[in-house]
Amino acid sequence: MSFSIAGKTAIITGAANGIGLSIARHFADNGANVICADIDEARLLDEWGPNPDSDTDDPSNTRIFAGDLREKLTIANLLSATIDAFERVDILVNASRQVMLTDPLDADNKAVQILLDQNLMTSLRLSQLVAKRMIQQGEELGDDDQNTPLGAIVNLSSIAASRTQPGLMAYSIASAALDQMTRSLAVALAANRIRVNAVAFGSVMSASLQDTIRDAGETREDILEGTPLGRIASANEVAEAVQFLSSEGAGFMTGHILTVDGGRSLLDAVGNPAH
């Protein structure tokens, strides 16, 4: 059983910061060709540097792509840039996500629409387009061996999909929808030998959580009290779970929501904040 992703080409969204950045670095360090996509071009350049000139023989296994993936044309351009750089795509990691604290009685429901557009629809559209390319690659190779995978898609979700608080209603709705989209696409693409899974995580020591803990010190103790393993996960632990689902080691797993939360979702969530 191999968990290697060496030589594979992966598109990773949300790769300018946070968990998406950690996943992109982890994949690059483990030998994958990585397209680091994000709307924040300045932070992409800070983290990854400029793309090599197209007329140079640069051995780098990373490229950056800046654009608003809520736009259909941008999604198409991202795939084109991937093919231009590495000729194929084997893995898609939908790590671009947004969290908003909202009023659950807000009749306008703007936050619900924002998070559905950002966390669900962007992932769905990109998954559909990338899946078509993966299928095309298989046809071009003439490979009809049902034991040979054509690709893997991994979505980033949250335990908030099933355990929530009123202020996180919009985020919970979008997370639950993403989980169901993962299962539905897994069934739809199974015949094409494309696996679709998700990682649902609890508290991860991201920059935003560090800021929250700094501003409200009791938050850390609340999280630790509500987590059986008694600590907060590192972003790299999420990255390792994503690598597993992307690898041949998970070759018979599809439609699975892999929970990485230190046991937090096993407890009664009342009174415990969701971060």
| Alpha carbon 42 to chain centroid, angstroms | 21
* Other Cβ atoms within 10 Å of 224 Cβ, number: 14
Q: Max CA-CA distance within the chain?
A: 58
E runs forming strands in the chain: 9-13, 33-38, 62-66, 91-94, 151-158, 194-201, 257-260
Number of alpha helices (DSSP H) and beta strands (DSSP E) in the chain: 9, 7
Separation between Cα atoms, residue 257 and residue 119, nearest integer Å: 16
The owner of tokens 């609890």 is 202
Could you give the residue numbers annotated as active site? 171
Provide the token pair at 187: 């069934």
Separation between Cα atoms, residue 75 and residue 35, nearest integer Å: 13
Separation between Cα atoms, residue 275 and residue 259, nearest integer Å: 14
The owner of tokens 């979702």 is 265
Separation between Cα atoms, residue 142 and residue 197, nearest integer Å: 26
Residues 6+ apart with CB under 8 A from 172: 158, 160, 161, 164
